[in-house]
């Protein structure tokens, strides 16, 4: 099975997310499993203000770009193909934002 990152972009800070949304995150691996996929990791990120950006030799506090939505977390999942990954990712709960699905590169596999 292929691996995908589901990047969660949200406008609502984690501390302001309704309990219902947090409960849906907790149950997400089971719901994705019912579709035949597998969540291999789920990570929530600290608030944007805790970020440190590096561009060349320049290190700055805070996020590098201003956006309405911030990267709030990521799920790593295994799916048969992109269509299957998208079906699984649609189950990700968000309040005011969305998700982005990206295939992962397995550097341990040597391409033909």
What is the architecture, at CATH level 2, of domain 2-103?
Answer: 2-Layer Sandwich (3.30)
At a CB cut-off of 8 Å and minimum separation 6, what does 24 contact?
93
Give the mean pLDDT per block of 10 residues along the chain (112 residues): 94 87 95 97 87 79 68 95 96 92 84 62
pTM of the model: 0.84
Note whether 6 and 37 are within 8 A (CB). Answer: no
Domain boundaries, the chain: 2-103
Q: What is the pLDDT of residue 55?
A: 74
Contact predicate 32/92, CB 8 Å: no
Beta carbons within 8 Å of 51's beta carbon, 6+ residues apart = 61, 62, 63, 64
């Amino acid at each position: 099975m292929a691996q995908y990152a589901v990047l969660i972009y949200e406008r609502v800070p984690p501390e302001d997310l309704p309990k219902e949304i947090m409960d849906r995150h907790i149950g997400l691996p089971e719901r994705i499993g019912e579709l035949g996929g597998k969540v291999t990791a789920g990570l929530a990120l600290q608030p944007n203000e805790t970020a440190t950006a590096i561009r060349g030799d320049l290190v700055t506090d805070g996020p590098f770009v201003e956006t309405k939505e911030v990267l709030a977390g990521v799920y790593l999942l295994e799916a048969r193909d992109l269509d299957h990954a998208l079906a699984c990712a649609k189950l990700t709960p968000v309040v005011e934002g969305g998700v982005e699905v990206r295939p992962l590169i397995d550097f341990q596999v040597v391409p033909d």
